[in-house]
Amino acid sequence: MPDEITLPDDRYFGPDMRQKEIALQLYAQVKDLPLICPHGHVDPRMFADPNYSFGSPADLLIIPDHYVFRMLYSQGIPLGKLGVPRQDGGEVERDHRKIWQTFADHFYLFRGTPTGVWLAYELRVVFGVRQQLATGTAQSIYDEIAARLATPEFRPRAMFERFKIEVLATTDAVSDPLDQHRALRDSGWPARIIPTFRPDAIVNLDAPNWRKNLDALSAASGISISSPQSLISALENRRAYFRQLGATATDHAALTPFTSELSANEADAIFQRALHGQAATDDASRFTGHMLMEMARMSIEDGLVMQLHPGSFRNHNDVIFQRFGLDKGCDIPTPTEYTRNLRPLLNKYGNDPRLSLILFALDETTYARELAPLAGHYPAVKLGPPWWFHDSFNGMMRFFDQVMETAGIYNTVGFNDDTRAFPSIPARHDVWRRASVNWLAGLVVRGFIGANDAEEMARALAYELAKRAYKL
C-alpha cells in the first residue's frame, strides 16, 4: 500500500512551537489573498481560447517543464524518452502513458527539491490525487488526472479563477501582435492578463535569428530599421502598443548587467556591422549595455517598470541545444558583478524615482555584497524575489537572511512565480507565503520585530509589494 501525499497545515515552518504558532497565525492572514503574478511565461492562448485543453497529464506536467526533465536527464534518461520534441522533427516517445511511467519510476529523484514540493501540491490540492506517485501508482494517477482534465473545472479559465489570480503578466516578443491579449480583452472574460515587453531578441545582437527578429519589429512597428535611432523609435512605438494592452513592465535578460553609454557614432558603427553580419567580438555586449541605458530612459518617460535578469549562460550544452532547442534545462548560472557594471546606468538614471529597476540574480553572493546595498541606497533600485534555481524554500531563506537587513523589505518587490507551468502557480505562491511568515515568525519570537509589524510585513510580502512595484 503506497504512502499518501501528506501536506500538513504547518508544513515548511520551523519546528519550534512558539515560532510555529506565530507563523500559523500570520499564514492565516495571507493564505487567501489573491495572487499577483507580475512576471511569468504562461501562454496567453490558454485563456484566449475558452475551450483550450491542457492535453494529457504528460503534456501538462512533463513535456514542457524543464525543471522536471532536466533532473530525469541528469540521471541518464534521454529527453526523447520523455517526449520532448526534437528540432528536426525526429522520432520521440509518443505514448504518454509510457512517459508518465518513466516519470513515476524516477519520482524519488525529486525528494527534497522544490519541484517535488510543487508537484506534491499540484497532485494533491489542484488535482485531488491522494496517493504518492511511484512505479505502482503511475497509471491510476494518470487516469485520475486525465479524468479531471476532461472536466470544465480544469479548463484554464476555471483554474485561473479557482487560483484567485488577480493579475497575470505574460512575457512577449516586441514584435508580437498580441493577438491573444486582444482576443482576451474582446472576450468579455474579466480576468486581468497583461503582456510584458521583452526586447532581448532585438537588443542582444547575438540572439538567434537576430536579423529575422529585426525585420519582424520593422513590420510590427511600421518603422524601417536602419540605425540605432530608428531601432529606438520602433521600440518606443511597440512599448506604446504594449502599454495600450495593459503592459506595466519590460523584461531584460543579459549575460551580465554591463551598462555603458556609446557615442552615437559608436552605436551606429556597431549596428551597421551587425546588419552586415560582421559584428566584432564584444559588439553584442557593448550594444546591449548601451541599449539597457536607453531602456532606462524610456522607462522614465513612459513609466514601464524595468526588470533585469542577468547571469545565465544559456544553452551551455550544445548537443541538447542543437537537438532540442532553447530552454531545455541546460542554462547554467555564472558569477555576476553588479556594482561596477550598473554604475553608468545608475549614475545617469538611478536617482530618479520615476525609474523602477527591478534586479534579479542567479549569483546569490551578490545579495548581501552588492544588491542589498544598491537597493538600500538608489531610489530607482528594487530587488526581485529569488529567481529560478533559487525559487525554493532554502533559496528564500537565504534571500531573507542576506538581503533584508541591508535593503529592508520595502526595497523588495514580493514574489513572482516566473513559470510557464500554469498549475504550479498556486504551489509556488504558497511556498513563498509560508517561507515569508516563517521568517517573520522567527523575527517575532526572537524579539526583532513586534506582532503588529509582522502582520503588516506578511501582507506586504504576500501581496502589496508586488502590486505596488509593478504598478498594478
Q: Under 8 Å CB-to-CB from 340, ≥6 apart: which residues?
A: none
User: What are the strands, taking DSSP E only, across 120-225?
Assistant: 165-169, 172-173, 193-194, 197-198
Give the nearest distance from C-beta 406 to its own copies in angstroms: 5
* Rounded Cα–Cα distance for residues 45 and 119 (Å): 23
The x, y and z cell numbers of residue 449, run together, are 520585530
Q: Which is nearer to its own copies, 215 or 327 (CB)?
A: 327
Please identify which residue in 117, 123, 217, 223 interacts with its own copies, judged by CB under 8 A. Answer: 117
Interacting span for its own copies (CB under 8 A) from 27-35, 37-45, 176-184, 391-399: 391-399
**Does 200 engage in binding with its own copies (CB under 8 A)?**
no
Give the nearest distance from C-beta 349 to its own copies in angstroms: 10
Kindly state the helix (H) or strand (E) to which residue 381 belongs, with its residue range. Answer: strand 381-383
**Does 90 engage in binding with its own copies (CB under 8 A)?**
no
**DSSP state string for 316-362:** --HHHHHHH-SSSS--EE-----TTTTHHHHHHHTT-TT--EEE--S
Interacting span for its own copies (CB under 8 A) from 154-162, 163-171, 229-237, 397-405: 397-405
Q: Which is nearer to its own copies, 83 or 442 (CB)?
A: 442
Closest listed residue to residue 287, CA positions, set 214, 371, 347, 197? 214
Q: Which is nearer to its own copies, 243 or 316 (CB)?
A: 316
Give the nearest distance from C-beta 307 to its own copies in angstroms: 18
Q: Which is nearer to its own copies, 241 or 387 (CB)?
A: 387
Q: Is 250 helix (H, G, I), strand (E, B) or coil?
A: strand
Please identify which residue in 194, 217, 300, 381 interacts with its own copies, judged by CB under 8 A. Answer: 381
Question: Side by side, which strands form the sheet with 193-194?
Answer: 35-37, 165-169, 193-194
Site for its own copies in 129-168 (CB under 8 A): 132
Please identify which residue in 76, 89, 90, 152 interacts with its own copies, judged by CB under 8 A. Answer: 76
Please identify which residue in 24, 92, 109, 293 interacts with its own copies, judged by CB under 8 A. Answer: 109
Please identify which residue in 11, 81, 185, 243 interacts with its own copies, judged by CB under 8 A. Answer: 11
Residues 304-333, one symbol each (x = binds its own copies by CB under 8 A, - = not), give ---------x--xxxxx--------xxxxx
CB atoms within 10 A of CB 209: 10
Provide the residue type at 286 as one letter. R
Q: Which is nearer to its own copies, 153 or 282 (CB)?
A: 282
Please identify which residue in 27, 54, 103, 110 interacts with its own copies, judged by CB under 8 A. Answer: 110
Provide the residue type at 115 as one letter. T
Q: Which is nearer to its own copies, 214 or 374 (CB)?
A: 374
DSSP secondary structure letter of residue 463? I
Please identify which residue in 149, 445, 462, 466 interacts with its own copies, judged by CB under 8 A. Answer: 445
Give the nearest distance from C-beta 3 to its own copies in angstroms: 6
Please identify which residue in 379, 455, 467, 468 interacts with its own copies, judged by CB under 8 A. Answer: 379
* Rounded Cα–Cα distance for residues 392 and 233 (Å): 40
Interacting span for its own copies (CB under 8 A) from 154-162, 208-216, 234-242, 448-456: 448-456
**Does 449 engage in binding with its own copies (CB under 8 A)?**
yes
Closest listed residue to residue 150, CA positions, set 57, 11, 76? 57
267 φ, ψ (degrees, to nearest 5): -60, -45
Provide the residue type at 7 as one letter. L
* Rounded Cα–Cα distance for residues 441 and 14 (Å): 9
Which residue is associated with the grid cell 512576471? 39
DSSP secondary structure letter of residue 1? -
Residues 408-437, one symbol each (x = binds its own copies by CB under 8 A, - = not), give xxxx--------------------------
DSSP secondary structure letter of residue 84? P
Site for its own copies in 202-261 (CB under 8 A): none
* Rounded Cα–Cα distance for residues 27 and 446 (Å): 18
Provide the residue type at 241 as one letter. Y
Q: Which is nearer to its own copies, 185 or 348 (CB)?
A: 348
Site for its own copies in 332-371 (CB under 8 A): 332-335, 337, 339-340, 343, 346-347, 350-351, 353, 362-365, 368-370
Contact (CB, 8 A) for 115 and 71: yes
**Does 15 engage in binding with its own copies (CB under 8 A)?**
yes
Give the nearest distance from C-beta 235 to its own copies in angstroms: 27
**Does 122 engage in binding with its own copies (CB under 8 A)?**
no
CB atoms within 10 A of CB 333: 18
